Amino acid sequence: MNPKEARIVIIGGGISGASIAYHLAEAGCTDVTLIEKGYLASGATGRCGAGVRQQWGTRLNCQMAKESVAFFERAEEILGYDGDVEFKQAGYLIVGTNEEEDARFAENVALQQALDIPAEHLTPKQAKRLIPHLNTEGVTSATFCPTDGHLNPFLMTDAFYHAASERGVRFKTYTKVTDVRVKDGRVAGVETTAGDYPADVIINAAGGHAQLVGQMAGVEIPVQSQNREILVTEPIEKIQDPMVISFSRNIYCQQTPHGSFVMGRGDNRPSGYTTESSWQFLEAMAQTAVTLLPPLKDLRVVRQWGGLYNLSPDRQPIIGGTEVEGFYIACGYSGHGFMLAPVTGRLMKEIVLGEKPSLPLEELSLERFDGEDTEAYEQSVV
């Protein structure tokens, strides 16, 4: 059978599912249906910190992020989108507070520069020049990449949605997948709250719920989901260009183009599916943010929310096939699926159509967890 004529069902209407839908339709697939239990970007995509960075600690994450940035820079043109996806490249400043981190920063920057990512290792004084209100007390060094930045998750998903719809993809929102039918070791279709969809190819892009969708097909995916919280302040005049993050202080914080500050932390939580807001987060977030960026003390918090990180054992995504023929997964992004979405869509298109992969897929495969501990572990995660 010509793979372009396969009946393809994508489960999940976040940025990953929308990008996969677009890339498949753009490549000529004629029968693509995306099924989403809520509305588009109602899961982790719409709850993320809206940051895009290329400063990673593994070669593969750096490559995927760099290629995604190249896509975002031309997203409106590539997708023929009338609106503005609000990609603002004001950089990411990553702040370190101990020698171990400084050493890792030096290694990361060397790796990033070798891949032509314009990151630099800075002294605290140089960092303060970029953000004058940064409290450098206890800061030992920093890294900065000027082409990292902010992207609007809702509008970027909307852009993929429009481009995919124009190419014939059907979007079924408010439709929940209740089971995945497997027959003789290969997929047969999905059952949903709005009827059955026969399928030759099923792609699990269910984000925080990817493990549950995997179980429906009898595929055990070694990921877990954890609630990660964020808050947003009132909008004010522009005072901060780059996103500021720190792994040791446990914070990411940026001023959005709208003027509000969005900030979050990565506190380890029990695995599960709650996205509740807690006072523990609020207190820790306020302490961390006001200490590192003192003028923020006068900003009013207007809202907080939670979203699911889908964590893989090595904090790199899982993209590829499974032991069930026709069942593919794109999950385990560990908090950075939003910013890698263009590459997710392209790789999944290559896999489904049997094309030559443009990146080393074995490092992203589900099988990599079969053996010993994996070598490339991404440490640069908040």
Partner 1 sequence: MDKRDVIVCRCSDLTLADLEALFNTGYKTFEELKRIARIGMGPCQGTTCGPIVRSAIHRRFKEPIERIPLHRARPFNIGIKLGAIKEAADDES
How does DSSP classify residue 155?
H
Nearer to partner 1, 116 or 298 (CB): 298
Q: Taking Cα atoms as reference points, which of 235, 353, 346, 209 lies closest to residue 301?
A: 235
From CA 348, how far away is CA 340, in angstroms rounded?
Answer: 12
Phi-psi region of 254 (alpha: psi -120 to 50; beta: other; left: phi over 0): beta
Which of 114-122, 143-151, 266-274, 302-310 is the region at the interface with partner 1 (rule: CB under 8 A)?
302-310
Is 211 among the residues that bind partner 1 (CB under 8 A)?
no
Binding mask 221-240 for partner 1 (x = CB under 8 A): ------------xx------
How does DSSP classify residue 325?
B
Shortest distance in whole angstroms from residue 165 CB to partner 1: 8
Bridge pairing between strands 92-96 and 243-246: parallel
* Binder of partner 1 out of 68, 143, 304, 344 (CB under 8 A): 304
Shortest distance in whole angstroms from residue 299 CB to partner 1: 6
As a residue count, the chain comes to 382
Instruction: Dig out the tokens for 159 from the structure.
Output: 């852009």
From CA 119, how far away is CA 123, in angstroms rounded?
Answer: 13
Is 300 among the residues that bind partner 1 (CB under 8 A)?
yes
Binding mask 150-169 for partner 1 (x = CB under 8 A): ----xx--x--xx--x----
Q: Taking Cα atoms as reference points, which of 266, 271, 227, 211 lies closest to residue 12?
A: 211
Shortest distance in whole angstroms from residue 122 CB to partner 1: 26
Q: Which residues pair with 33 in a beta bridge?
A: 9, 170
Shortest distance in whole angstroms from residue 237 CB to partner 1: 16
Query: Any residues with CB less than 8 A from the CB of 216 and at least 6 apart, and which?
Result: 177, 178, 179, 180
Shortest distance in whole angstroms from residue 234 CB to partner 1: 6
Site for partner 1 in 43-82 (CB under 8 A): 46
**What is the C-alpha R_g of the chain?**
20
Binding mask 255-284 for partner 1 (x = CB under 8 A): ---x------------------x----xxx
Nearer to partner 1, 7 or 47 (CB): 47
Nearer to partner 1, 283 or 362 (CB): 283
* Binder of partner 1 out of 212, 290, 324, 381 (CB under 8 A): 290
Q: Taking Cα atoms as reference points, which of 156, 124, 135 lies closest to residue 51?
A: 156
Is 194 among the residues that bind partner 1 (CB under 8 A)?
no
From CA 79, how far away is CA 157, in angstroms rounded?
Answer: 11
Q: Site residues (CB under 8 A) for partner 1?
A: 39-42, 46, 154-155, 158, 161-162, 165, 171, 173, 233-234, 258, 277, 282-284, 286-287, 289-291, 296-305
